[in-house]
Homo-oligomer: A and B are copies of this chain.
Amino acid sequence: MQTETDALSLTFAALADPTRRAMLARLAQGPAAVKELPNPYNLSSPSISKHLKVLERAGLIERGREAQWRPAQLQPAPLKDVSDWLEVYRKNWEANFDRLEEYLRKIQKDKGI
């Protein structure tokens, strides 16, 4: 159901690309012009523009205008939404860790006998 595309789906889809995540990592430090953004796969300018549009549509960045530059700025609200969504599952991975820990304690004890 990638048609009505709810906000969370848009956000996750935007995050599912290493170029876009690299951009966000840079923008976490502060606003930057397009040419200042990392381009780890040496994509063409139009491709970079498209990636920025994807981030913008997901609400993860906002664009400005300063002389001939169009700086991008991180908007972290959708990331907080992801964090909130994740909370429900935290008990699952912490429980798993507990079971692993318990197992490790057990084999350690067995070895000690």
Question: Which residues of A pack against B, CB within 8 Å?
Answer: 1-2, 6, 8-13, 15-19, 21, 24-25, 28, 41, 74, 76-77, 79-80, 82-83, 85-86, 88-90, 92-93, 96
Within the oligomer, what is the number of copies of this chain? 2
- Contact of A18 (CB < 8 Å), options: B1, B18, B76, B83: B1
Q: A49 to chain B: closest CB distance in Å?
A: 16
In the bound complex, what is the Cα–Cα distance between A15 and B82 (angstroms)?
10
Contact between B13 and A1, CB atoms less than 8 A apart: no
Contact between B21 and A16, CB atoms less than 8 A apart: no
Contact between A76 and B93, CB atoms less than 8 A apart: yes
Contact between A16 and B25, CB atoms less than 8 A apart: no
